[in-house]
Amino acid sequence: MNFFDKLHNNISQNKSILFVGLDPNPEMMPARYQHQDIISNLWSWLQFIISETADFVCAYKPTLGFYEALGIPGLELLQKTLAAIPSHIPIILDAKHGDLNTSTIFARTVFTEWGVDAITLSPYTGQDHVAPFLVYPDKTVFILCSTSNPGAEALQQYPSKESPLYLQVVQESKNWGTPEQLGLEVGTTNADVLAKVRQAAPERIIMARSIWAGGGNLKNILDAGLNNSGNGLLIPVPQDMLASQNLSEEIQFLRAEINQVREGIVLDGSSCAVWLPDVSAVNQHPLHDLILQLYDIDCIMFGNFVQASGAVFPYYIDLRKIISNPQIFNQVLSSYEEIVKNLTFDRLAGIPYGSLPTATGLALRLHCPMIFPRKEVKAHGTRKLIEGNFHAGETVVVIDDILISGKSVMEGADKLKSAGLNVHDIVVFIDHEQGVKDKLQANGYRGHAVLTISEITTVLHQAGRINDEQFLALTAE
């Protein structure tokens, strides 16, 4: 079961968004455990914490640094801790000291050998560092956006309070992984920071940290960080509570306090005339996140762009960029796959150059052969018009990126037909609309598109990525 399903099962079963940090820190260990060697004492304490809390939390978060600080016995203690956590409760390994050149091997160790479900990571080494962790489909990463350390302010608030670095981390990291793959870690005592992150990432799970320092106001923190359905936020059990002999009672009391606020949010939402949370979730475009991510990596640009035909359009779509962003590329492939899997064909053909990676990705996913019509025929060598092997009489589905006039895709399809192949279906990611599908039909092709320009502009406008003026300019097109 993946991290997300495990987490949500526990949230609903244990009725809790609380998680427990498992920190074998000798300095925090209660005096009552000090009778044997340090490792045995810490182990007794950790066992007590797990047994007292397992029915009242949604996740455990062992901190690797505390285990490492104890040397080899510490790493053995970590293995015992991981094994002692009931298997239905997800484990988030707090390991923010990973480095770029070790991330691939570290990801393999923690996810496949240690069997943890999620990991916290620092964002500063960028997507290159995070990507090796994202290739594990059942696992999740939490990206550190802010910490409550006073000394971190100078960096986190840079360059201005209006556009601080920690919010740029949120925006950037949202492009690295889907909401199921990537959550955000927000350490703060300030509910405003949490509210800003929630606003920037309404769809992400936020793991709150350090909220108890300075006697933080729980209600404010919950109001700021919970999403509209009273979820999306993980709250740490206070460190000093873990030293209490009455841990089980205290944690249940805290859980009840938190759930009261959560229920208030859900009730407010359902009794109010506009129960926005559910309405927005239900009405949200199924590819809402993907559209925003494509916009954020500049695949969708607004301005005046001259097309091949000489016409000037108020936007330009450059889907060639997706190949540099594996997780977005993967989502784009899935969206094509939903259409292509329902068609009948012998081979796929990509239109060069832009759609060759997409057609290749689909061919690999669907286990089907691929060919492509050359853009220009070479004057030397085999002088082939079509690359790849095929038999005349076979049926080919053509894959392209965007339909504007339909000229380029039909030229490609015609080359395939001239080699004795049958082409009935053309699948693209974006349909510019304005009758281009009818034009394909008039030429004997069925056009299928994942998205239309209107769907894209509507999502971008609703999400505030484009303003009213830009939206109107686009819809007047």
Cβ–Cβ under 8 Å, residues 193 and 146: yes
> Which residue, 164 or 412, is less far from ligand LLZGTKA7 as judged by CB?
412
375 a known binding residue? yes
Cβ–Cβ under 8 Å, residues 431 and 410: no
437 a known binding residue? no
Nearest Cα to Cα of residue 118 among 100, 98, 96, 142: 142
User: Between 288-296 and 165-174, two packed helices, what is the crossing angle to 10 degrees?
Assistant: 120
Q: How far is the CB of 257 from ligand LLZGTKA7 (least distance, A)?
A: 53
User: Between 126-134 and 326-340, two packed helices, what is the crossing angle to 10 degrees?
Assistant: 50
271 a known binding residue? no
User: Rounded to whole angstroms, how far apart are CA atoms 111 and 363?
Assistant: 29
Q: How far is the CB of 419 from ligand LLZGTKA7 (least distance, A)?
A: 21
> Which residue, 31 or 308, is less far from ligand LLZGTKA7 as judged by CB?
308
> Which residue, 89 or 404, is less far from ligand LLZGTKA7 as judged by CB?
404
Cβ–Cβ under 8 Å, residues 412 and 373: yes
Q: How far is the CB of 365 from ligand LLZGTKA7 (least distance, A)?
A: 21
Q: In Å, what is the CA distance from 467 to each residue of 21, 170, 234, 297, 473? A: 43, 21, 33, 18, 10
Q: How far is the CB of 241 from ligand LLZGTKA7 (least distance, A)?
A: 56
Nearest Cα to Cα of residue 186 among 175, 106, 173: 173
DSSP 309: T
415 a known binding residue? no
244 a known binding residue? no
Q: In Å, what is the CA distance from 57 to each residue of 51, 54, 216? A: 11, 6, 20
Q: How far is the CB of 428 from ligand LLZGTKA7 (least distance, A)?
A: 8
Catalytic residue among 96, 139, 196, 437: 96
Bridge partners of 236, per DSSP, are 19
> Which residue, 272 or 306, is less far from ligand LLZGTKA7 as judged by CB?
306
Nearest Cα to Cα of residue 261 among 203, 204, 191: 191
Neighbours of 306 (CB within 10 A): 10
> Which residue, 117 or 400, is less far from ligand LLZGTKA7 as judged by CB?
400
User: Rounded to whole angstroms, how far apart are CA atoms 127 and 434?
Assistant: 38
> Which residue, 10 or 293, is less far from ligand LLZGTKA7 as judged by CB?
293
374 a known binding residue? yes
User: Rounded to whole angstroms, how far apart are CA atoms 242 and 239?
Assistant: 5
Cβ–Cβ under 8 Å, residues 142 and 118: yes
401 a known binding residue? yes
Q: How far is the CB of 340 from ligand LLZGTKA7 (least distance, A)?
A: 17
400 a known binding residue? yes
User: Between 468-475 and 453-462, two packed helices, what is the crossing angle to 10 degrees?
Assistant: 170
> Which residue, 143 or 404, is less far from ligand LLZGTKA7 as judged by CB?
404
406 a known binding residue? yes
User: Rounded to whole angstroms, how far apart are CA atoms 251 and 56?
Assistant: 7
> Which residue, 347 or 437, is less far from ligand LLZGTKA7 as judged by CB?
437
Q: How far is the CB of 412 from ligand LLZGTKA7 (least distance, A)?
A: 9
378 a known binding residue? yes
Residue labelled with tokens 């359905």 = 229
As a 3-state breakdown, the chain gives helix, strand, coil percent values, each rounded to 5, of 45, 20, 35
Residue labelled with tokens 């350390």 = 149
Q: How far is the CB of 316 from ligand LLZGTKA7 (least distance, A)?
A: 4
426 a known binding residue? no
**Beta strand spans in 215-322 (E):** 233-236, 300-306, 312-317
Decide: residue 12, CB within 10 A, 0-12 exposed, 13-18 middle, 19+ buried.
Answer: exposed
Annotated catalytic residue 439: no
* Binding residues vs ligand LLZGTKA7 (CB under 6 A): 307-308, 316-318, 354, 400-408
DSSP 91: B
Tokens of 59: 């996740």
What values do phi and psi take at 201, rounded to 5? -140, 65
The binding site for 5-phospho-alpha-D-ribose 1-diphosphate comprises 374-375, 378, 380, 400-408
The binding site comprises 374-375, 378, 380, 400-408
Q: Which residues form the catalytic set?
A: 96
